[in-house]
Amino acid sequence: MLGDAEIQALDDHLGNVLRENQQHHENLQGLLQQFHLLLDNYNRLKSDYEEEKEAREKYKKLARGQFKEHLVKAGVDGGTKAAQLLNDSIKELLNDQLGSQADQCRIMVRVYSNILGLSKTLARAGLVGNEARSLSPFASSFTRSQDLFDYIDAGDKKEGADYKIREMFRLFADNNQCKHIFFAGCHDAGYLSLLTPYRGKADRITLIKAASFHPEYDKLDLPVRELSAVFTSTSASPPVGGTNTAPATRPVCRHFQKGICRYGKDCTKLHVLPNQHFPKPLYDSPAQPSSLTVKLREQEYYSRFLPRVNSKPQEYIAINKDGERIDTYCPMPSQEEWEMYNKRSKRHKLCNKYHLGGECGNLSCEFDHSPIDSACLNVLMNLMRQHMCTRAAGCRSTKCYLGHHCQKDNCKGTKPCKFNRQGHTLDLQVAQWVISIEHEEESPVSEETSEANSVADPNNTLAFLMGDMNQM
């Protein structure tokens, strides 16, 4: 049996062990707290660093992406050349809108920039020298080369450029002497409020797309153009379509020309357009190898080239130089729009013919004909555009709500996409607008006459381009 002294010694030893364990636990808790504190500080510093790095790289990219690099490198000569190219490019855009009257316009250009900041960024990129304001020779020669061209140093305060751009825009927007405004500040969503009152006024305003373009500007329903000869373009060039000149050896399908042929590519008669002088194969051979696919097209590409819904009267259809139909731009629905559509369609499925085609001849139609909001309509249109029209690029019906070429982002042309190779390689440059089959007999007025009647007062003799070149 243990004695009292031994029992006391064991009790003291056990107490020491418990105290040591308690101290060890407290030390471990303190170490863990310090570790979590250091980890939080590290994550915060890392986040700050990544934000600073992203901002710096974005600014560097934007600074390099304004004028073509070879123009900036050329200094004085580059500024003169840039002004001349810009003048010529704007004249080309004016010719598309005004025809011969474009020659009467004098072109005014206002460029706003932080020359000191841009000089530093461009110097690090090796495009200019290391002097404090090494971009100044380029800017000065740009200003001198054209009477109404000005490259203005707005300083390092963004508000200075914003204020001038807004006031200059307001000055010319409602000026009858100003024929057209080309707005190049579309990198910054802050100018949306300035342009919103002019939504859809394609006869007054064109948006210029340079190194960056905020997607919200697409919602203004204004034409978007790139001046690729002057500014760096981030979009792929449109594919060049070929032509075939096979002789017509089969009878022409009149139902196809009216947009009502139900046999599609299986029709035994020839599918040619009323204004087409030679047949063009509208469908690909099933044996065509997939290796012939072209560079993938992104949403930005479709947004750039496809016409907007209200760019022409409803009875007109856009076609390219090969006589192939070009659809209007159908933007991808947002998550909120999808949720609204799904909620609505769960109650009662919508009638495609009624909401997209304008009418439904089925008196006993089981689908929903009640009014819908623009969000649901956008989703419904996007869904139906993913189904290929049997007439493909030869369709001339304004009541057709199906797709005539693919508009999916980076689509490879494989399943589940329903479009053939032509639907992914179609030249999307609008060559002309033709009257639809439904209105062909109603309106004998030619497209040229319609365009001529739409030209405004020839006394308006000023075209105006403005932009913030800090981030163009």
DSSP characters for 294-361?
-----HHHHHHHSPPGGGS-TTEEEE-TTS-EEPPP-PPPPHHHHHHHHHHHHHS-B-HHHHHHS---
Query: Judging by beta carbons within 10 Å of its beta carbon (0-12, 13-18, 19+), is residue 358 exposed, middle or buried?
Result: exposed
CA distance 162 to 154: 9
CA 75, 79, 82, 83: dihedral to nearest 10 degrees? -170
Structure token digits, residue 103: 């020659």
How far apart are the two ends of the chain, measured CA to CA in Å? Answer: 94
Contact of 351 with 361, CB cutoff 8 Å? no
* β strands within 230-289, DSSP E: none
Torsion on CA atoms 206, 208, 209, 212, rounded to nearest 10: -120
Q: Which residues contact 249 (CB under 8 A, 6 or more apart)?
A: 270
**Length of the chain measured in residues:** 472
Tokens of residue 106, six digits: 């004098």
Q: How far apart are CA 250 and CA 256, in angstroms?
A: 14
Among the listed residues 198, 86, 189, the one whose alpha carbon sits nearest the alpha carbon of residue 464:
86
Instruction: Give the integer Cα–Cα distance in Å for 29 and 399.
Output: 73
Name the residue with tokens 């800090």: 470
Residue with tokens 């379509």: 241
Strands (DSSP E) along 177-336, which ranges?
178-183, 205-208, 224-225, 316-319, 325-326
Whether the upstream peptide bond of residue 251 has omega within 30° of 0, thus cis, is: no
Report the run of H or E that residue 5 belongs to, with start and end: helix 4-64
Beta carbons within 8 Å of 212's beta carbon, 6+ residues apart: 62, 65, 186, 187, 471, 472
Q: pLDDT tens digit string along 116-159? A: 888 888 888 788 888 889 999 999 999 999 989 999 998 877 67
Asked if 430 contacts 469 with a C-beta cutoff of 8 angstroms, the reply is: no
Bridge pairing between strands 325-326 and 205-208: unpaired
pLDDT score, position 470: 56
The pLDDT confidence band at residue 56, using thresholds 50, 70 and 90, is low
pTM of the model: 0.43
Does the pLDDT at position 261 exceed 90?
A: no
Could you read off the pLDDT of 294-349 as tens digits, one per residue? Answer: 567 888 888 888 888 776 767 788 888 888 898 888 888 888 888 888 888 888 88
- Alpha-carbon distance values, 428 to 31, 43, 115, 238, 327 (Å): 64, 47, 38, 7, 9
Give the residue carrying structure tokens 């841009």: 118
**Cα 333 to Cα 85: distance, rounded to the nearest angstrom:** 37
Of all helices (H) and strands (E), which one includes residue 463? strand 462-468
Confidence at 284, pLDDT banded by 50, 70, 90: very low
Residue 463 in contact with residue 106, Cβ under 8 Å?
yes
pLDDT digits (tens, 9 = 90+) for 348-387: 888 888 888 888 878 888 888 888 888 888 888 888 888 8
Distances 389 to 191, 321, 399, 423, 448 between C-alpha atoms, Å: 39, 20, 12, 10, 29
Q: pLDDT tens digits for 8-54?
A: 888 888 888 888 888 888 888 888 888 888 888 888 888 777 766 66
Region at 75 (left for phi over 0; alpha for psi -120 to 50; beta for the rest) = left
Mean pLDDT value of segment 428-454? 58
Res 459: pLDDT: 33
The average confidence (pLDDT) of the chain is 77
pLDDT at residue number 79: 92
Token reading at 178: 């100003």
Give SS3 for 202.
coil
Rounded to 10°, the helix 115-124/136-145 angle is 120
Distance between CA atoms of residues 140 and 243, nearest Å: 47
Give the pLDDT band of residue 424 (cuts 50, 70, 90): confident
The average pLDDT across 439-466 equals 42
Task: Name the residue with higher pLDDT: 459 or 223.
Answer: 223
The 8-class DSSP code of residue 238 comes to P
Contact 257, 274 (CB under 8 A): yes
Quote the pLDDT of residue 231.
Answer: 81
Tokens representing 457 are 């007062």
Alpha-carbon distance 342 to 11, whole Å? 73
How far apart are the C-alpha atoms of 325 and 388, rounded to whole Å? 13
